[in-house]
Structure 1
Amino acid sequence: MLQLLIYLRYLLVAGQMLTVVFVVERLNLPVPVRPLLAISGALLAFNLVSHLWWLRHRDSGTRTLVLQLLVDLLALTALLYYSGGPANPFVSLYLLPVAVAAIGLEIAPMLGLTVLTAALYTWLLRHHIALPHVHGSDFQLHVTGMWVNFLLSAGIMVVVLSRFMTIVRDQRRRLSEARERAIRDESLSALGSLAAGTAHELNTPLATMSLLVDDWIGSEQTPSREDIELLRSQLTHCRDHVRALADMARRGAAGEATVETADDFVHACVDRWRLLRPNASAIFTPGAADRAVRVDAALPQALINLINNAADANAGRGHDGPVEVATEVRDGWLIVSILDRGAGPARITALPRREREGPGLGIGLMISKASIERNRGRMRQVEREGGGCVTEVDLPLVETPA
């Protein structure tokens, strides 16, 4: 906008000087030539300085544009003062700075410049040097001046508005591209979170299968039926997780969100975790009957990770009690509480990898937080009374599916 304003000012200054010369040489009107040319010359000098400054800084902020329009208003007022004031047919040029301000400025500076323009116009009603009359033709001359002013104003408005619409179209295009990139990045992030979560969950059954195979290799006895069933169940876990990941990719990376009953959703996550950790236990206490939440493909993985971390924390402290999972409704949110008796909220970030509880990869909490936030939720951890940690997951409630 500033660049366009500078180029237009060059044209206006040239037009001002040519008009003064034309009025004096062709119409023989005794107007004050020196003040008028001095004002145009000063405006040209200001424009040159502004042009050099713009080339160096490329800044077109609000303050800069306000200063430019303010100088234009004062220069126009000075020119009109020496050439008839409100009687000058070019007085409607006051509308051009107002139009530019309306296009390029916020509401407050735009209103300020509009009020200033009205005040300057009002001031000219009583303070100006009257134009000399040319008997018999002064009114026709005034009409001709109004016609020239209309052509000039229309041309300037076409240039300014065309440039403004070009900027608007370019911004819309950039916004559309940014929105598409954001959707694509969110999709890749969702797929990445699920992939990382799948790797996190596969670590336990793979470790179990590795131990079984090592025992069989080191033993001359035939594997027991119980060990074979355990191996089979762990293979089933791995297959289910890989299928979930493939289903996520097939549905477009971000997953197709569904609306599920809150208690049923959390209970299903606890049951799925029990299959993953048959040697650990969890107690679920429902408290959100007939309420629903929005669930994407990665959210169940997030809750399972958090329950798994809680079980690891219990095991790390030698606590053989169950992980406690409860739901409640609070201020339009589903609150899922996961309680353990581990080392407290700081255990994940405070301990180095080799000292963290459990066999996990140490990424469960990070994965869970990303998935929860993608579902417009939030997560926090606080100290539990009597020792341990309470992990709370807040999910926004939605209308219960019919």
Structure 2
Amino acid sequence: MTPTQAAPSPGADKRQSIESARSDTTRGAGVRNMQQLIQLRWIALVGQVATILFVHFALEIRLPLATMLGVAACLAAFNLASLLYWRPRQDVGDAALLSALLVDVAALTAQLYLSGGITNPFVFLYLLQVALGAVLLPAWASWVVVAAGSAGVLGLVVFPGPVTIAANPEQGIADPYVQGLLACFLLTAVLAGLFIGRIARILRERDARLADLRQQAAEEEHIVRMGLLASGAAHELGTPLATLSVLLGDWRRMAPFTGHPELQQDLDEMQTQLGRCKAIVTGILLSAGDARGEAPAQTTLAVFLDELVSEWSATRPVETLDYRRHLDEDVPIVSDSGLQQMIGNILDNALEASPHWVGLEVSREGDDGEWLRLKVSDAGTGFTAETLANFGKPYNSSKGRPGGGLGLFLSLNVARSFGGRLSAANRPQGGAEVVLELPLSALALPAEEPDESNDG
């Protein structure tokens, strides 16, 4: 990276990824809607050809058979081209959907003009096109479909076609016109119920996905605010901690303390806890990027986990830490302070619920062992049903203290940033367990790019 190049901020990357996911969701819904239109058009083509042949040969109503079959062939060619064109693509906009519906309206108008015009009972199929436009398109585009359908009906009135269909309602069900009306109603009802129902489900899934993304964006913003607050607090705490360290050093040399070993032990314990506070502040600043080195620290998975467990157990009053590591082979990874803090936070929650025993089991899952699985267990009272139902939400805690529940909320979002997942459950034998699953590819050391600065 040259001196004039700036590294992108994690917040900007996160916002870009969320916006990208939103656009991908919208594009995916557009593709599926276009697929539904293509399927509907195939069904309409089969129905058109069957109806044309039935009316021409069975009812002996002479139609311009060659011309009508030619219109159907053109529509079939258009549908095949649409299928081949849109299958490899992931982006279908409103303009493409509108154009497809207008082609359907034009083809329907041509077929009706050739087979009775406004006297054709299938003229009500315009309403199906209008309904599809109202479901698939924004308001302005749906009104374009309404205008096109209205223009088609008006054109059939002004320009009668070569065939006229006479209606004799007094014949009842024996009248071909009445039969056509019934067939049109059944066809419209079935297609509307089937395809509009599918499209509505697609749109509901899209809306649900967008709602999840909006919730994720709100959670990310909440995390950014907490990160800024923690970073500012860490800066502010640096000075008083340094002052306390100096005072403890002076007290160690004063007469009242030098002659009392018990007081010296208290000073040693205070110095140890003060050093731990400094380490916590340093960790906050590292996570905020204030003291992060540019070169990533390379280590291995086993070494990373063993060091983490050793450091955690040495600084926590845990009586028994049941640490089990089931790794067939060690793999190189990047030591990430955020991941270390997340695992430590999960262990802290387990320790608070069960001071006597905490379990940590590590394994690799998947066909090729591409997932890292860490299960943290405790022997406490377990999660409440409400806590499990709202798992991952901020301030979701049964501990009853202000600000509780942020630990798992932050851990869940850190896991999400690695492309992993976090889940919680109660153990059958009592207590709770939290399972963290991460793709090992997210922890791998990135390949170094060739240095081209000296290429000449």
TM range (shorter): 0.5 to 0.7
Q: Which residue number corresponds to residue 237 of structure 2?
A: 202
The answer to whether 1:54 aligns with 2:89 is no
Give SS of 2:84's match: helix
Q: Which residue number corresponds to residue 402 of structure 2?
A: 251
Task: For 1:123 and 1:180, locate their aligned partners in 2 and report how far apart those are by CA, in whole Å.
Answer: 50
Give SS of 1:6's match: helix
Displacement after TM superposition at 1:160 (Å): 2.4
- The one-letter amino acid of 1:115's match is A
Matched residues, percent identical?
Answer: 37
Report Cα offsets for 1:183-219 as digits up to 9, x if no partner.
54344444433432332221001122233345566x6
Q: Which residue number corresponds to residue 164 of structure 2?
A: 131
Task: For 1:92 and 1:122, locate their aligned partners in 2 and report how far apart those are by CA, in whole Å.
Answer: 13
1:9–1:47 CA contact under 8 A, matched in 2: yes
- The one-letter amino acid of 1:143's match is V
Report Cα offsets for 1:135-157 as digits up to 9, x if no partner.
99698110000000000000111
Change (3 A) 1:29 1:188: same
Change (3 A) 1:168 1:35: same
Change (3 A) 1:94 1:132: closer
Gaps of 5+ in 2: 1-32, 258-269, 285-393, 396-400, 407-456
- TM-score, normalisation: structure 1: 0.52
Higher-Rg structure is 1
Change (3 A) 1:134 1:97: closer
Task: For 2:149 and 2:114, locate their aligned partners in 1 and report how far apart those are by CA, in whole Å.
Answer: 17
Report Cα offsets for 1:75-125 as digits up to 9, x if no partner.
111101111100000011111111111111112122122112111211111
- The one-letter amino acid of 2:115's match is S
Q: Which residue number corresponds to residue 212 of structure 1?
A: 247
The answer to whether 1:160 aligns with 2:195 is yes
Q: Which residue number corresponds to residue 57 of structure 2?
A: 25
Q: Which residue number corresponds to residue 174 of structure 1?
A: 209
Task: For 2:221 and 2:93, locate their aligned partners in 1 and report how far apart those are by CA, in whole Å.
Answer: 33
Change (3 A) 1:220 1:90: closer
Q: Which residue number corresponds to residue 377 of structure 2?
A: none
Displacement after TM superposition at 1:251 (Å): 2.7
2:122–2:181 CA contact under 8 A, matched in 1: yes
Task: For 1:95 and 1:58, locate their aligned partners in 2 and report how far apart those are by CA, in whole Å.
Answer: 29
1:73–1:117 CA contact under 8 A, matched in 2: yes
Give SS of 2:62's match: coil
Give SS of 2:158's match: coil
Give SS of 1:59's match: coil
Q: Which residue number corresponds to residue 83 of structure 1?
A: 115
Change (3 A) 1:216 1:130: same
Q: Which residue number corresponds to residue 141 of structure 2?
A: 109
Give SS of 1:30's match: coil
Change (3 A) 1:25 1:125: same
Q: Which residue number corresponds to residue 261 of structure 1?
A: none
Q: Which one scores higher on RCO, CA 8 angstroms, separation ≥ 6?
A: 1
Gaps of 5+ in 1: 224-230, 256-402
- The one-letter amino acid of 1:203's match is G
2:119–2:165 CA contact under 8 A, matched in 1: no
- The one-letter amino acid of 1:141's match is P
2:115–2:164 CA contact under 8 A, matched in 1: yes
Displacement after TM superposition at 1:48 (Å): 0.2
- TM-score, normalisation: structure 2: 0.47
2:55–2:61 CA contact under 8 A, matched in 1: yes
Q: Which residue number corresponds to residue 74 of structure 1?
A: 106
Displacement after TM superposition at 1:220 (Å): 7.0
Partner residue of 2:127 out of 90, 95, 116: 95
Change (3 A) 1:25 1:137: farther
Change (3 A) 1:252 1:52: farther
Change (3 A) 1:58 1:131: farther
- The one-letter amino acid of 1:13's match is L
